[in-house]
Amino acid sequence: MIELYTARTPNGRKISIMLEELGLPYTVHALDLEMKQQKEESFLNLNPNGRIPVIVDKSNDDFVLFESGAILIYLAEKTGKLLPNNLKKRSIVMQWLMFQMSGIGPMQGQANVFVRYAPEKIPYAIERYQKEVRRLYEVLERRLKEVEFLAGDYSIADIATFPWVKRHDWCEVSIDDLPNLNRWLSTIEQRPAVQKGLNVPPESDISSAEQAANAGRNILI
């Protein structure tokens, strides 16, 4: 059994999608980020960085793991799925996973901050990060012109990247003219496991305080 500490964010959804794809049993601990539950001592004992997601693998001596990319690799290696054993194929998956972890996640996260949350609009910062997000999307577009999925076959690289690109509108970056990226998004979104994973935790599990905040600030990314 896996215990998943998560919230309705792209990084959180990576892991719920992965668990659904693998068919592993798991229980969900929904954290209220607005109420700073990720900064409480009980959670910091699991992840000293105070970020979701975190898993606790009860079947492996209560092994605790944080950082979404590391969790994806661990679960893939645990089950022998969605990460090839062949060195070359595995390396291709890993490079696209790292592309998301080092590029799309941080840059789109910054774009979200300056577009949505900054107390004042800073045009230079907004333009800088929107342009970089768009450039990264164009890298994906070029890659997906050649292959169906980022590493050829569906893998943890796609699972990591999909929840971020799906919310491109949140940082106001259009992908209307990127047909291969749109095709990839649509293909992945139709997978039953992805549809289930996107709804973890269910909105009904979010506290009333966070729901009120979301209604005004739309913080669910």
Prior bond of 192 cis (ω within 30°): no
For 62, half-sphere exposure in the C-beta direction (CA atoms, 13 angstrom radius) is 1
pTM score, whole prediction? 0.91
Q: Rounded mean pLDDT of 17-34?
A: 96
Condensed to tens digits (0 to 9), the pLDDT of residues 164-210 reads 999 999 999 999 999 999 999 999 999 999 999 999 999 865 544 44
CA gap 22, 105 in Å, rounded: 23
Using CB atoms within 10 Å of the CB of residue 1, give its burial: 0 to 12 exposed, 13 to 18 middle, 19+ buried. Answer: exposed
Q: How sure is the predictor about 21, in pLDDT bands with cuts at 50, 70 and 90?
A: very high
pLDDT at residue 123 greater than cutoff 70: yes
Question: In the chain, where does the domain assigned CATH 3.40.30.10 lie?
Answer: 2-81+196-217
Multiple choice CATH, 2-81+196-217, 3.40.190.10, 3.40.30.10, 3.30.750.24, 3.30.70.100? 3.40.30.10
Q: For the chain, give the percent of residues with pLDDT over 70.
A: 92
Is the domain 87-189 a CATH 3.40.640.10 member?
Answer: no
pLDDT higher than threshold 50 for residue 220: no
**Average pLDDT of the residues in 100-122:** 96
What 3-state DSSP class applies to 35?
coil
Angle at 177 between CA 190 and CA 15, to 5 degrees: 35
pLDDT at residue 210, as a whole number: 45
